[in-house]
């Protein structure tokens, strides 16, 4: 889904609803625009507006929760990368080759998950071949005494945990926002904006307020859709934790 285009379409639809409301106001007889009729429309739109606010809040909460969960997993990955590298250093010179391979694998992870172009799709699928090579390189490390055997077992456990987090990120990459729910909310917003335009006075101040409201609502839809794709777009999760962790590797 093209988030920018979708948001622009939503804005265009809401502005169209305002224009339709003005046009409809000119067609209706004056009896349909008396005080009682306006009060009835306000009551009905109050109910629709309340439902719309609740569902919009749920969509924002769902998208933000998904974004925060993914960001937390990225931070866990960065922490484990830094810890694994330190454990390699403690292991000794025998682990130099496996340590270099680990760094190479993590550099590939960064390139996959954070491509240079913001609109390029991130590849969250683990590199099975590189992961297997790293796993077997760790298993092949010589363990001369009990401390090295314990360190080796810890390395294997942490590398497996890192792979599990990467797999979890891949599984969670499906959109969390329900498209039918989003369409229904947009339809409710169209109804609300038609009623706003129908009942508001035809002056520049009222028109400007309605246009600003439409832009704000389209901005909320943009924010929801952006949060729902944490590795793309303007609000994507930063690669800085992983880069910082990897920059310390080998020191």
pLDDT band for position 80 (cuts 50, 70, 90): very high
* 3-state class (DSSP) for residue 144: coil
pLDDT band for position 157 (cuts 50, 70, 90): very high
Question: Residues 229-249: pLDDT tens digits?
Answer: 888 878 888 889 998 888 876
Q: What is the pLDDT of residue 79?
A: 92
Check if the beta carbon of residue 249 is closer than 8 Å to that of residue 104: no
Question: Residues 54-77: pLDDT tens digits?
Answer: 988 888 888 899 899 999 999 999
Q: What is the pLDDT of residue 189?
A: 92
Q: What is the pLDDT of residue 228?
A: 86
Question: Mean per-residue pLDDT for 198-211?
Answer: 84
Whether the per-residue pLDDT at 119 is higher than 70: the answer is: no
pLDDT band for position 218 (cuts 50, 70, 90): very high
pLDDT band for position 23 (cuts 50, 70, 90): confident
In sequence order, what are the residues at sequence separation of 6 or more whose Cβ sits closer than 8 angstroms to the Cβ of residue 129?
Answer: none
The long-range contacts involving 90-96, CB below 8 angstroms and separated by at least 24 positions, are 90/151, 91/141, 91/148, 91/151, 91/152, 91/155, 92/148, 94/141, 94/142, 95/141
- Other Cβ atoms less than 10 A from the Cβ of 225: the count is 23
Q: How far apart are CA 223 and CA 117, in angstroms?
A: 20
Whether the per-residue pLDDT at 217 is higher than 70: the answer is: yes
Q: What is the pLDDT of residue 1?
A: 61
Tokens of 179: 């498209």
Average pLDDT, the chain: 86
Whether the per-residue pLDDT at 32 is higher than 80: the answer is: no
Q: What is the pLDDT of residue 71?
A: 92
Instruction: Establish how many alpha carbons lie within 13 A of residue 18's alpha carbon, considering only the half-sphere containing its beta carbon.
Output: 18
Domain segments of the chain: what residues? Answer: 3-247
Q: What is the pLDDT of residue 12?
A: 93
Q: What is the pLDDT of residue 9?
A: 92
Question: Mean per-residue pLDDT for 100-110?
Answer: 90
Q: What is the pLDDT of residue 123?
A: 83
In sequence order, what are the residues at sequence separation of 6 or more whose Cβ sits closer than 8 angstroms to the Cβ of residue 185?
Answer: 52, 55, 56, 59
Whether the per-residue pLDDT at 181 is higher than 90: the answer is: no
Q: What is the pLDDT of residue 117?
A: 66
């Amino acid at each position: 889904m093209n988030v920018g285009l979708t948001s622009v379409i939503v804005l265009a639809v809401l502005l169209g609803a305002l224009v339709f409301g003005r046009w409809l106001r000119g067609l209706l007889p004056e009896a349909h625009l008396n005080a009682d009729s306006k009060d009835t429309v306000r009551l009905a739109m109050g109910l629709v507006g309340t439902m719309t606010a609740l569902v919009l809040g749920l969509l924002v909460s769902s998208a933000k929760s998904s974004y925060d969960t993914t960001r937390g997993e990225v931070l866990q990955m960065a922490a484990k990368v830094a810890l694994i590298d330190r454990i390699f250093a403690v292991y000794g010179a025998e682990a130099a080759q496996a340590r270099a391979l680990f760094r190479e694998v993590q550099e590939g992870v960064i390139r996959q998950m954070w491509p240079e172009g913001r609109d390029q799709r991130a590849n969250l699928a683990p590199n099975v071949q590189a992961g297997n090579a790293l796993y077997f390189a760790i298993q092949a490390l010589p363990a001369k005494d009990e401390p090295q055997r314990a360190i080796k077992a810890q390395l294997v456990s942490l590398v497996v945990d890192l792979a599990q987090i990467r797999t979890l990120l891949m599984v969670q990459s499906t959109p969390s926002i329900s498209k039918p729910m989003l369409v229904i909310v947009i339809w409710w917003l169209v109804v609300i904006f038609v009623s706003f335009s129908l009942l508001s006075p035809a002056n520049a101040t009222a028109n400007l307020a309605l246009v600003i409201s439409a832009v704000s609502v389209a901005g909320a839809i943009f924010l929801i859709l952006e949060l729902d794709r944490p590795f793309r777009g303007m609000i994507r999760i930063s690669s800085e934790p992983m880069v910082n962790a990897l920059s310390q590797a080998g020191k």
